[in-house]
Amino acid sequence: MRFFRIALVVLALMAVMAAPMQAQGKSATVSWPQEPDTLSPLYTSMTFAGYTYQLYLSGAWAFDADLTPFPVLVSEIPSVDNGGINADGTVFTLKLKEGLTWSDGDALDSADFLFTYEMIMAEGNAVGSRTPYDRFVSIEAPDATTVVITFAEPYAPWLSLFGAVLPEHVLRPVFEAEGSIDTADFNRNPTVSSGPYVFETWEVGSFMRFQANPAYVLGQPKIDTLVVTFIPDEVAYVAALINGDSDLGTFVAFSDVPALEEAGLTVEVIPSGYNEGWYLNTSAERAHPAMTDVNVRKAIAMAFDRDDFNATLNYGATFTPHSFWENTPYANPDIDPYPFDPAMAAQLLDEAGWVDSNGDGTRDKDGVELVLRFVTNTRGIRVDLQAIAQQQLAAVGIGTELINFPSDQFFAGYAEGGPISTGQYDIAELSTAPATFPDPNTVRFLCSEIPSDENPVGANDNYYCDPELDALFEQQSSTTDLAERIAIFHQIDQKMFDAAIWIGIWHDADVWITGSDLQNVALNGVTPFWDVQNWDVAS
Amino acid sequence: MARYVIRRLLQAIPLLLIVSFVLFALMQATGDPLATMGGRQPTRAADRERLARQLGLDQPIHVQYVYWLIGNDWVVVDAETGRTGTRRGILRGDFGVSYATRQPVLEMIGGRVPDTLLLTLTAEVLILTVSLGIGIFSAVRKYSFFDQAFTSISFVLYSVPVFIMAYTLIYAFSIGLRRAGLPYFPTSGIFDPAIGRTFEQVVWHMVLPVLTLSLISIAAYSRYIRSTMLEVISSDYIRTARSKGITERRTLFVHAFKNASLPLITLIGLDLPFLLGGAVVTETIFAWPGMGYLFINSLQRSDYPVLMGILMLIAVGVVISQLIVDLLYTVLDPRIRYS
Amino acid sequence: MATLTTHKPVRLMESDNQRKNSNRALRRFLRHRGAVFGAVLLVFVIGYVILGSLLFSESYANFNDTSRRLQPPSTEHPMGTDNIGRDIFARTVYGGQISLMIGFLAVTVAVLIGTTVGVVTGYFGGWIDVILMRLTEAMLSIPTLLFLLMIANIFGGKVPQIALFGRVFSGSVVVIIVIIGLTSWMGLSRIVRSLVLSLKEAEFITAARALGASDLRLIFKHILPNIVAPVVVSATLGVGGAILSESYISFLGVGVGAPTATWGNILEGSRQFFEQAPWLWVAPGILILMTVMGINFLGDGLRDALDPRSDKSA
């Protein structure tokens, strides 16, 4: 009987459910599919942590909707013309705006920049990445509004510097007491702000709330309260956007796009530098013997119908990229992706000497069957793609063994025996971007980065080495002239395409969803809140 | 009695040490916590090497285990500055720091315990009350229509996988009610952030996950209670009690139930520590921010300190609840004595 | 949550009584309506996965076609198609073979370990008893599902695919069988140990020992035959548990990998289309339910049938 009594209570509660929303001023809700690890900019590579700290911490500059940098804490973007960059591109001078303050009134000056550098490099702080601060020769503050950074060599990707600046007056005492700010309370409960919003509360597992910062250097935001919620379940996430519980969201699967559009929401596909692609292992020692033959690699690219996959499983919300730098000026516009052409693929394989001599349906050569290890992680869409690709590759006589690793093993390092790092694969599918996007620089394809026992930190997972390609990468990384750099990248792109070491599967741009109540929203894939002070909600 | 308790606790020490070492050794193989640092692509190799050194992941596993157990504040970790470690080890209450969030593990787990217990304890209480009611009723009215009907239903429910139960409930009471234009139950989280964590919100969000957890166990428990009650009812002393003219109600609830409660307590004792572990599948489906959910997330990140913390906490819970169960026996059954 | 272990120790039967008892047991079993119902369910499921494979080939079950994805049930595809246009009917047939195989083999592993540990500890006692029982306790104090998830994560992707009976399996099938087996022997070993402990003192054992029977002979000739019944009951119920375990870990993403289908990973793929395409989860869900239910009924019936003391009315 007690059960019925409980049921009655539940029913009664159902009746009184419609609790009114208490709203003071304008409010909007942003939803992430993952809860940020931390609010500190130093300790995680998680995309959503990266987006969220931008609400309360400003950087030297940010990027606008076209990914053009504009000044935030600096008074102008350094250039050779304004004297911010010296002639050979090794010395950068940042001129800060006058009278910058933290939200508690304390001055924000060059000392905070130096402190940020100190924290990143301190041995006591186990920060996620030191790039590119570990390349500094020196960093100095001649006065309160000037920061001078010197590199040993010209450093083209300098725009990735100082995306956030830490408050010295808050964190210095912690660092001095503990020898580290790894576990500083500030990382989860920041007390001061230099960004558009001031942190208010973090309800673990549910949401964070921010209030507008009247002292924000680019002006007080129009929306007073910004709530950031975390909804990890994909179905619930999409439902929250459709119901209007969330005003802004991202990272929805391409397959959810039709339903979201049907619900009248604005769907924008915004490049974040990422492209889903197949890394083809070219190592003579570690890969299948066929993989060293460029024609076999081209045949692999032609045997899988990427356009059909993007039209069906990706619901036409994305497309097949032709370049590692897809959708940026650095991509060579004259390149078309390898077409889906099984006949051509078969011909290339025949010419390469891989024929089905024993009639088992799989090509072979010198007694070696053409069976390739196709590895990826356990993400649903990749598992589906593997099954489709296996069937299509089998149609041209390429056998595949499908292997799925949990992500923490798939991406594990060389010393930990990670399958990509150690080259234990022939085809590996993953989504990658230039490390300091929007800068195009990458070290992934350099000969010197080929991993080995002597060089376990190498990043060249293709095990591909072409001295000419190396020279071009070397040349672009010290070229500060944009047009010149773009021209070099077009050559790089052509070389990589011809070598067929990376096959683009889909342009992995981020899908952003904006509710109809939210106005004036302009986003980008790096600093989505660059213009949040101008967002508004319909009253 | 006190000596018995002390002896039992002393015996638990080697057990927990074995458990912790085996788990710690297995942890090292689950994956690389530095693989992506939560990001979308692999961590840069140079950063990975430095982080491994700073976090002590480059040490041999037995050294890592010792540090985890008793800390490293007696070891010079940086030869240049003569700096010693800062960890105090789990034996001194320092569960370590999460690799993912850099938050003390105890704090992270502590944040999840209330929400997990809210879910699992509510379910356990519901399970016990309902299944006691049904179990006793069907034992007393053996072979009645109710008994037969419930026996059939419980056999079906007992075999339902948790996720099928969850899906069916979501389909019926969330999607179904919504399509019918009725108020529907939420399927994710613990409250609606737009409204806030009010009592009504939490109860409202708890309905489906609690039902998911309860329905299956109610079936199993009430079957068990029914058969224990039947055994007791047919025993000699109950017959004696009846013949002495004690009322049926008193016989049932005082004499029979007291004796039937022994096996029940064993069962609850087995369950309790695992309530702390949350309900992985249910919490995952309903995005309930509990321990099971934390475990899955930490597993995906190979966040060993958190995983170890959760598992060790449960292991300690098992030891303690077993002890409590054994002590309760002496209270309920004077024939049992420990010395 | 509440994983209920309802292993009631079964009373011992002495060997000379065995034949008489087995006839009685069969009669009791057949009288047990639930057990017969369970057997019928299981025969249906086994028939489904075996006869079904006469209807389609395994390559048909894996055949995908993006132009017919997410189709609702039709005459051509009686259970609809999945996200990449595979026929769900065919996949539940071949997935069922793997799920059932995992269930039976995992329990075989568990029975081998559990019986060995139980007999060794119960029969020999002493330090080996102390060590193995501590290990058993240690295993029991770790939540099984969490432990399973952890070990599945360790071996994910590390075992290459294997060819068996002319079919190619994802290596993860073997991994899953072994780890489920490795994490589910503890209850059985305790039952066996207590049975062996009391058997050891039985008169016919003492007599055999007095006649000079060796330890091995005693174990294989006299002890093992007398513990078969409770082991069979426990193993039967264990198969259901193992099938559920497989579905849980596949559902949580660390189970059997592509392209090998199991009921669990078919279900996993359905989450995203939960509302849009309910046929993705209904068919494998019902099949798992039928199997587990059949096994539970059967196990219950077997227990009643093999345990002469058990009160049929209870």
CB-nearest to C157 from A308, A388, A409 is A409
Tokens of A407: 């992500």
Give tens-digit pLDDT for B44-82. 888 888 898 888 888 888 999 999 999 888 887 777 777
Among A328-337, C28-37, C218-227, the least confident range: C28-37
Question: Which percentage of chain B shows pLDDT scores above 70?
Answer: 96
Phi, psi values for residue A207, rounded to 5°: -160, 170
Structurally, at CATH architecture level, domain A59-169 sits in Alpha-Beta Complex (3.90)
Is the CB of A37 less than 8 angstroms away from the CB of B100? yes
Mean pLDDT rounded to a whole number for chain C: 82
B51: left (phi over 0), alpha (psi -120 to 50) or beta: alpha
Q: Which fold, A275-508?
A: Dipeptide-binding Protein; domain 3 (3.10.105)
Q: What is the DSSP string of A80-112?
A: TTTTSB-TTS-EEEEEBPTT-B-TTS-B--HHH
Say if residues C110 and C299 touch (Cβ distance below 8 Å). Answer: no
CB distance from B326 to chain A under 8 Å?
A: no
Q: Which among A516, A536, A511 is positioned nearest to A263, based on CA atoms?
A: A516
Q: Quick check: B243 pLDDT over 80?
A: no
Query: What would the mean pLDDT of C17-37 be, rounded to a whole number?
Result: 68
Q: Decide if A2-38+195-272+511-537 and A59-169 have a common fold.
A: no
What is the rounded distance in angstroms from the CA atom of residue B119 to the CA atom of residue C105?
Answer: 35
Higher pLDDT, C162 or A451: A451
Domain boundaries defined on chain A? 2-38+195-272+511-537, 59-169, 275-508
Interface test with A, best of B95, B102, B125, B281 (most A CBs within 10 A): B102
Phi, psi values for residue A377, rounded to 5°: -90, -165
What is the rounded distance in angstroms from the CA atom of residue C217 to the CA atom of residue A463?
Answer: 61
Return the ∠ at Cα C247 (arms to C246 and C248), rounded to 5°: 90
Reported confidence tier of residue C25, pLDDT bands at 50, 70, 90: low
Residue B14: closest C-alpha in chain C: C134
Question: A2-38+195-272+511-537: which CATH number, 3.50.50.60, 3.40.190.10, 3.30.430.20, 3.40.50.970?
Answer: 3.40.190.10
pLDDT of amino acid A149: 96
pLDDT in tens, chain A (539 residues): 444 455 545 444 444 443 334 446 899 999 999 899 999 999 988 999 999 999 999 999 999 998 999 999 999 999 989 999 998 889 999 999 999 999 999 999 999 999 999 999 998 899 999 988 999 999 999 999 999 999 998 888 899 899 999 999 999 999 999 889 999 999 999 999 999 999 999 988 888 999 999 999 999 999 999 999 988 877 778 888 988 889 999 998 888 888 899 989 999 989 889 999 999 999 999 999 999 999 999 999 999 999 999 999 999 989 999 999 999 999 999 999 999 999 999 999 999 999 999 989 999 999 999 999 999 988 889 999 999 999 999 999 999 999 888 888 888 888 888 899 999 999 999 999 998 888 999 989 999 999 998 888 888 999 999 999 999 999 998 887 889 999 999 999 999 999 999 999 999 999 999 998 999 999 998 899 999 999 999 86
Higher pLDDT, C19 or C259: C259
Beta-sheet strands, E only, within A271-426: 275-280, 364-365, 368-369, 371-377, 399-405
- Exposure pattern of A317-344 as b/e (b: 16+ CB <10 Å)? bbbbbbbbbbbbebbbeeeebbebbbeb
**pTM of the predicted model, to two decimals?**
0.86
CB distance from B190 to chain A under 8 Å?
A: yes
> What's C81's DSSP letter?
B
Q: What CATH number should be reported for the domain whose range is C32-66+77-306? A: 1.10.3720.10
| A139, β-bridge pairs | A149
**What does each C-alpha distance from C144 to B156, B224, C148, C249 come to in angstroms?**
23, 22, 6, 11
**What does each C-alpha distance from C245 to B220, C240, C263 come to in angstroms?**
18, 9, 11
Mean pLDDT rounded to a whole number for chain B: 84
Return the ∠ at Cα B66 (arms to B65 and B67), rounded to 5°: 90
- Neighbour count for residue A284 (Cβ, 10 Å): 9
Q: Which among A435, A30, A38, A479 is positioned nearest to A272, based on CA atoms?
A: A435
| B218, β-bridge pairs | none
Interface test with C, best of B159, B221, B304 (most C CBs within 10 A): B159
Q: Which among B161, B260, B250 is positioned nearest to B213, based on CA atoms?
A: B161
pLDDT of amino acid C166: 67
Counting one residue from A and one from B, how many pairs have CB atoms under 8 Å apart?
Answer: 192
Q: Which among C311, C236, C251, C246 is positioned nearest to C281, based on CA atoms?
A: C251
- Exposure pattern of C185-202 as b/e (b: 16+ CB <10 Å)? bbbbbbbbbebbeebbee
| Shortest Cα–Cα distance, B13 to chain A (Å) | 31
Show the DSSP H helices in A69-204 as ranges: 110-121, 168-178
Query: What would the mean pLDDT of C211-239 be, rounded to a whole number?
Result: 86
Q: Which among B276, B282, B261, B264 is positioned nearest to B332, based on CA atoms?
A: B261
Give tens-digit pLDDT for B183-198. 888 888 888 766 778 8
Q: Quick check: B108 pLDDT over 60?
A: yes
Is the CB of C296 less than 8 angstroms away from the CB of B159? yes
What is the rounded distance in angstroms from the CA atom of residue A222 to the CA atom of residue A234?
Answer: 30
| Shortest Cα–Cα distance, A76 to chain B (Å) | 31
Domain boundaries defined on chain B? 18-94, 107-332
Q: Which residue has the tokens 């039976």?
A: C104
Residue A39: closest C-alpha in chain B: B101
pLDDT of amino acid B327: 84
Whether the link from the prior residue into A438 is cis, omega within 30° of 0, is yes
pLDDT of amino acid A465: 95
What is the rounded distance in angstroms from the CA atom of residue A58 to the CA atom of residue B37?
Answer: 23
What is the rounded distance in angstroms from the CA atom of residue A375 to the CA atom of residue A390?
Answer: 12
| Residues on chain B touching C137 (C-beta within 8 angstroms) | 15
CB distance from B57 to chain A under 8 Å?
A: no
What is the rounded distance in angstroms from the CA atom of residue C216 to the CA atom of residue C219?
Answer: 5
CB distance from B94 to chain C under 8 Å?
A: no
Query: What would the mean pLDDT of B19-25 be, rounded to a whole number?
Result: 89
Q: Which amino acid is at A513?
A: I
What is the rounded distance in angstroms from the CA atom of residue B136 to the CA atom of residue B142?
Answer: 10
Is the CB of C252 less than 8 angstroms away from the CB of B277? no
Give tens-digit pLDDT for C40-80. 999 999 999 999 989 988 888 889 999 999 999 999 999 99
pLDDT of amino acid C21: 59
State the Cα torsion B321-B327-B329-B330 to the nearest 10°: 180
Q: Which fold, B107-332?
A: MetI-like fold (1.10.3720)
Tokens of B9: 């606790």
Domain boundaries defined on chain C? 32-66+77-306
How far is residue C88 CA from its own chain's centroid? 24
Helix, strand, or coil (residue B78): strand
